[in-house]
Structure 1
Amino acid sequence: MEADAFNPAELSAADVFAQLATELHDSDGVEQTVDAVVEFALRALSCNYAGVVFLARGGRPEIAAVTDPAVATVYGHQIDGGDGPLMESLRDGVIVHVRDAKLDTRWPRWSELVSGLGIHSVLHLPLVVGDRTGGVLSVYSTTPAAFTEDDEAVAHILARHAAVALSTAREEESLAQAVDARKLIGQAMGILMERFDLDEDRAFEVLKRYSQDGNIKLREVAQQLVDTRKLPRR
């Protein structure tokens, strides 16, 4: 459906989220799914910008999608400083609603930056699956007090749909990467077995030893061997 053909005001809530479910289902992979989420947020809510942050391995926030460079700037400020409404939403798994950044006194440096970019209303919604927060959906408006209770309710449901879709897409991507890694390691083991007359167990031990000694991921050792037919220098 074209963006200009979508008008949430003319549809029931059920129609709106049926459309969202269709768009998320049709998305292929994490990147397309997260792009669909932020684009839908722009159309379904009274906002000017939107973005999504994931929690990467190790718990560090990672910017997944933004609809404007200003959002990346605001995200980066909070991630680097470890403070702000985004970090509170990620840490505590709660909705954080800032009605006017210019008047908000909780995060002075953040407020100065955001209001300087012409942003006033901010809404951060945790992406929760089960009991784990995997990220945050953020929406921004250049108008003070832009988000009503109805907007917050719609955004909350959007975040629930997005959390499940993004979690599924990330799991599928991780599984595909794991399958690819196993195939690559198998190829590398085959090279070692043929060249040095090793069995499978011994070939795997050689790869693992080079990985440990060189502090290199096993997949990268295998990739180098497949590409160059040589093991990394130890």
Structure 2
Amino acid sequence: MNVPDFFSEVALDLHEQPTAEKTVDRITEYAQFAAECDDAGIMLVHGRGRIETASKTSERVARSHDLQNELDEGPCLLALEQGGNYVSTDVEFDPRWPRWGAAAARLGIHSAMSVLLETRERRYGTLNLYADRPDAFDANDLATAMIFARHASIALANAHQEQGLLVAIDARKVIGQAQGILMERFDIDADRAFDVLRRYSQNHNQKLHAVATWLVENRQKPVSEFPGDVQATV
């Protein structure tokens, strides 16, 4: 697939995602493919300046983000605080972030690139790309990531307007717990469990987070006690 076709496909696919959570996850997946990197993740800024990992391709991505918050240094934080986009070709020896770079190297990360996710109205967070080897990213990779980030930022803005992105990200934990309960109870996979929650939400005019919260809080109750016929949707 050539570059214009790829970005056209990305724009269409992100627009068609049913929820904010799915939108964020798809951005991360596409970013990893576009940058040909080993890992990718998204950090979002919540109310009162709280920053958290909204999506990741591995647990070390989340850990690298947590380290930036703990050590108060790193490319993601610098991008959020000062604007701009940052590339490190060898994090272990980058003088800008000596403590984070050394810690990231111990996770197996040696190249990093952080690109802002923002529109003219709002800064949402950063798209962060990681590679196992030094010198993995060059100027062309940064240019591609910046173009991709523009598409992703528009998708984030749309998701925020339609569903309330930051609320949805805060709700992912309880939704994930509800998925796990359904997966165990009905012996179904994660995508099927999510479809059950979404369909129940739509059919009974209840928010997805509210449905998931009820299920988590009433996990010992039989399905027949749901305020509706969930069993028929499984």
Alignment TM class, shorter chain as reference: 0.5 to 0.7
- 2:78 matched to which residue of 1? 88
- 2:132 matched to which residue of 1? 142
Residue 56 in structure 1 maps to residue 46 in structure 2: yes
Who wins on radius of gyration, i.e. which is larger? 1
Name the SS of the counterpart of 1:106 in structure 2.
Answer: coil
Equivalent of residue 13 in structure 1, options 3, 26, 31: 3
- 2:34 matched to which residue of 1? 44
State the 1:80 CA deviation.
Answer: 2.9
Name the SS of the counterpart of 1:123 in structure 2.
Answer: strand
Equivalent of residue 27 in structure 1, options 1, 6, 17: 17
State the 1:128 CA deviation.
Answer: 1.2
Quote the Cα distance in structure 2 between the aligned partners of 1:74 and 1:94: 20
Q: Is the 8 A contact 2:93 2:102 kept in 1?
A: no
Cα RMSD for the two superposed structures: 1.5
The count of corresponding residues between Structure 1 and Structure 2 is 166
Q: Is the 8 A contact 2:118 2:124 kept in 1?
A: yes
TM-score (norm 2): 0.68
Q: Is the 8 A contact 1:46 1:146 kept in 2?
A: no
State the 1:119 CA deviation.
Answer: 0.9
The amino acid across from 1:63 in the alignment is: T
The amino acid across from 2:15 in the alignment is: H
Quote the Cα distance in structure 2 between the aligned partners of 1:134 and 1:85: 15
- 1:152 matched to which residue of 2? 142
TM-score (norm 1): 0.68
- 1:113 matched to which residue of 2? 103
Quote the Cα distance in structure 2 between the aligned partners of 1:114 and 1:62: 17
Residue 133 in structure 1 maps to residue 123 in structure 2: yes
Instruction: For structure 2, list consecutive stretches of 5 or more residues without a partner in the other structure.
Output: 168-234
Quote the Cα distance in structure 1 between the aligned partners of 2:83 and 2:124: 9
The amino acid across from 1:20 in the alignment is: V
Quote the Cα distance in structure 2 between the aligned partners of 1:25 and 1:131: 19
State the 1:43 CA deviation.
Answer: 1.3
Q: Is the 8 A contact 1:93 1:128 kept in 2?
A: no
Equivalent of residue 174 in structure 1, options 136, 142, 164: 164
Deviations 1:6-61 (A, max 9, x none): xxxxx322111011112101211210001000100111112000000111011111
Q: How does 1:193-212 map to 2 (within 5 A)?
A: none
Which aligned runs of 4 or more in structure 1 are off by greater than 6 angstroms? none
Change (3 A) 1:120 1:95: same
Deviations 1:70-109 (A, max 9, x none): 0100101112333221110111221010111122122111
Instruction: For structure 1, list consecutive stretches of 5 or more residues without a partner in the other structure.
Output: 1-10, 178-234
